[in-house]
Structure 1
Amino acid sequence: MPKKAVEIGALRVSRLAKQPGRHAVGGVAGLHLLVKSNGNAAWLLRSLVGGKRKDIGLGGYPDVTLAGAKEAARRSRDLIVQGVDPVEQRRQARALLMAENAKAKTFADCATMFIDAKGDEWRNPKHRQQWENTLKTYAEPVLGELMVRDISLAHVLEVVEPIWKTKTETATRVRGRIEAVLDWAAVRGYREGDNPARWKGHLEQLLPKPSKVSKVDHHPAVPVDEASAFLEALRRMEGMGARALEFLILTAARSGEVRGATWDEIDMDARLWTVPADRMKAKRVHRVPLSKQAIRVLEALPKIEGGKLLFPGAKGKPLSLMSISAVMRRMGLEAVPHGFRSTFRDWAAERTNFPRELAEMALAHTIESKVEAAYRRGDLLVKRSQMMQAWADFCETPVKKGNVVPHARIG
């Protein structure tokens, strides 16, 4: 135990603070004022801790007064008597504080980090922008500055309830994106407990099902019986957009697949269009059999030296989606190009005996059943060739309303 020095008062301490060195101040055994050569002064408690002599810092002078230093020294001595190292305790407290600060992330912080971490998985670059925009518009005004660990059910409801019935599709996407961000934050250790944005067994008990409050808006489509009249009128129109739309109809392809199509994807002799996986929604190669009518569209296209695209737009770049949609608007229709896939699907189901799976394969739809997908290794190209030719022939033949033209089932 250090020898207890003669206790001095605050005035004496203020004078000692101008003299470099270590000064015992009394009152508590081992309490000193350490004055450095640069004039800075601090309180130290010299004591034995676990058999080792240690200097325990108690704070700077004059921020910590003499009375405050004595009180801190007594607390430290009490800890030492209890077998606790004040220095180690303080170090652990600082480490815990640093760890807590490291985990103190706002929702806005986590949303940004989640998008940076997962963004490369999204097929379309626009998905990143959609995530950023919806979260910034709807979630961040409520959740943005909240610590992600503190977000509760009430906060999530404050985001989605106001738009659940008026902007249902947007609200469901926002809810799902909040759930994803909170799940990511939990795995990173930024929050604990259940996810307040989850739907199953949670929000489904508080909010009406989206299907019950919002009618699904399908792409407006040209009715089956009007397909031939539309194609006849379309062929009288000029322009690359009109030709791209005609090819889209005859192949039942998506707009993006047609607008990005290149000549090296086309085998004119085999009457085949092979769309590479990186341009397909399902990320699988898709072979499209070309009807005689589709081949005629390609044969009539101007060949631009060095040009790769079938349907080039301005400056050799792909046509925009609007350039094809504009063709239909000029024809006075509310239908959209993508709607022709529905027209094709209706024709196959209502006017033919072609198997359902053949039409689904022609549309390059993903097979939902994993078992069915495992057994279906081929793409039924020969059978689909017959179906696509029948579709092209139908589109050229005026159909009386109510007239069903069945095609023989292909074995």
Structure 2
Amino acid sequence: MTSRALNKLSAAQVKAAAPGKYSDGGGLWLHKRDDGGAQWFLRVTVHGRRREMGLGALRDVSLKDAREAATEWRAVARQGKDPIKERERRRREAQRADHTLGMVAAEAFEARKAQLKGDGKAGRWFSPLELHVLPKLGQVPIEELDQRDVKDTLAPIWHNKADTARKALNRLGIVIRHGAAMGLDVDVQVTEKAKALLGKSRHTPKHVPAMDWRDVPAFYQSLNEGTITHLALRLLILTATRSSEVRFCHLDEIDGYVWTIPAPRMKAGKEHRVPLSEEAQAVVAQASAFERDGFLFPNVREGVISDATMSRFMERRGLEARPHGFRSSFRTWCAEETDMPREVAETALAHVVGGSVERAYRRTDYLEQRRELMEQWAKHVASSRN
């Protein structure tokens, strides 16, 4: 391979050497340049081919360190391996270890926060990954992740928690694509392959139980104690909005008969104007007595009432219906009891109506038509009240 003599140089010789190349033996050389720079390199022969491998600059690598590195890479060459290729392989492995699925998932989440409601603070975007994927696969280098890993991880919930599994697979796909954007060697089709292995879900979707619109007036009348929960449920019913939109209702958002819900609090991420009926305005006025920091429905200690407050109330009443179901009650009433156009009823629920081109040309949110519709709904809802 090279000369058998080792350790020819001394530290003093290395320091004082003029420009040129100096052998320390065993293939280890020091190259001093005319510009004052100097570096170590190792010459070895592998499969009859001479290879020259840099070991670092003299200012960074001492004579002792250079000899230790040379010993390590000579041993690799004796095994018939190219030390340069082996070093690159080890470097790639180290990089893969740094880019675990958990690390890339955290980076992907951080990059998407601006697109998520409340910057993702509620945790709903990340939780499917955090609860069902990362506990098993979080430490796996993302470049080594394959469809069998994903299939084995999601199989336990694929049929009995289909919606959660679907969300977890969707989020994982986003993380994989983020890894590809980082320049990592990932399989961007891994989630589709896993889905093929998992097969079709046997889960039958269950809709949120809704109260028949004919029964809503009696329930509304029973909410007569003037408590925060009763008033929140009344406003929820009268406005056909979502629970979170009511719970975080702030006085600054209400101007006369219009309640403007900011885009970050809307599911679709778009500002939504809600026309308040006279009945709804009366509920807002009554709830103002409980206002804290501008929020109409504060919790006992801090913040606003929880997501479960209204649901638990209805459970204790022995009702199958849930708060979100009042949106369905309202929509069915619209279809069966009014002649209001479909797009007006759908806009009242803050649903996206029509294609992108149609929406680009339609510059109205039907506020006045919806105001009339919500007055009719309020009269129906309050019709059984004394």
AA aligned opposite 2:45: R
Aligned equivalents of 2:253 and 2:218: distance in 1? 30
AA aligned opposite 1:98: R
Which residue in 2 is equivalent to 1:349? 335
How many residues align? The count is 338
Cα distance change on mapping 1:135 and 1:275 into 2, 3 Å: closer
Structure 2 residue 181 is the aligned partner of structure 1 residue 187: yes
| Aligned with residue 196 of structure 1, among 190, 201, 204 | 190
| Aligned with residue 94 of structure 2, among 79, 98, 101 | 101
Structure 2 residue 163 is the aligned partner of structure 1 residue 169: yes
Structure 2 residue 10 is the aligned partner of structure 1 residue 55: no
Which residue in 1 is equivalent to 2:105? 111
* Equivalent residues of 1:163, 1:171 under 8 A apart: yes
Structure 2 residue 219 is the aligned partner of structure 1 residue 244: no
Which residue in 1 is equivalent to 2:272? 286
| Aligned with residue 200 of structure 2, among 200, 204, 209 | 209
Which residue in 2 is equivalent to 1:300? 286
| Partner-residue secondary structure (3-state), 1:224 | coil
| Aligned with residue 221 of structure 2, among 232, 243, 246 | 232
Deviations 1:69-113 (A, max 9, x none): xxx977389645xxx545489678646643553244332333333
* Equivalent residues of 1:242, 1:327 under 8 A apart: no
Deviation of residue 250 (structure 1)?
1.0
Structure 2 residue 152 is the aligned partner of structure 1 residue 158: yes
> Equivalent pairs: percent with the same residue?
33
Unaligned 5+ residue runs, structure 2? Answer: 13-19, 29-41, 56-81
Aligned equivalents of 2:44 and 2:262: distance in 1? 77
Cα distance change on mapping 1:309 and 1:165 into 2, 3 Å: closer
Of stretches 303-312 and 330-339 in structure 1, the one that deviates more from structure 2 is: 303-312
Cα distance change on mapping 1:300 and 1:111 into 2, 3 Å: closer
Which residue in 1 is equivalent to 2:133? 139
| Aligned with residue 7 of structure 2, among 33, 56, 61 | 33
* Equivalent residues of 2:217, 2:383 under 8 A apart: yes
Cα distance change on mapping 1:208 and 1:352 into 2, 3 Å: farther
AA aligned opposite 1:225: R
| Partner-residue secondary structure (3-state), 1:183 | helix
Aligned equivalents of 2:111 and 2:293: distance in 1? 37
* Equivalent residues of 1:231, 1:246 under 8 A apart: yes
| Partner-residue secondary structure (3-state), 1:366 | coil
Deviations 1:257-289 (A, max 9, x none): 222222232233xx2222222332223222211
| Partner-residue secondary structure (3-state), 2:214 | helix
Cα distance change on mapping 1:208 and 1:34 into 2, 3 Å: same
Matches within 5 A, 1:9-24: none
Which residue in 2 is equivalent to 1:4? none
> TM-score normalized by structure 1?
0.70
Deviation of residue 253 (structure 1)?
1.5
* Equivalent residues of 2:310, 2:323 under 8 A apart: yes
Which residue in 1 is equivalent to 2:259? 273
Which residue in 1 is equivalent to 2:299? 313
Which residue in 2 is equivalent to 1:260? 248
> TM-score normalized by structure 2?
0.74
Unaligned 5+ residue runs, structure 1? Answer: 1-26, 39-51, 61-71, 399-411
* Equivalent residues of 2:2, 2:26 under 8 A apart: no
Matches within 5 A, 1:318-333: 318-333=304-319
Cα distance change on mapping 1:193 and 1:287 into 2, 3 Å: closer
Deviation of residue 116 (structure 1)?
3.4
The structure with more radius of gyration:
1
Structure 2 residue 117 is the aligned partner of structure 1 residue 123: yes
* Equivalent residues of 1:183, 1:195 under 8 A apart: no
Aligned equivalents of 2:291 and 2:231: distance in 1? 19
Cα distance change on mapping 1:334 and 1:205 into 2, 3 Å: same
* Equivalent residues of 2:180, 2:188 under 8 A apart: no
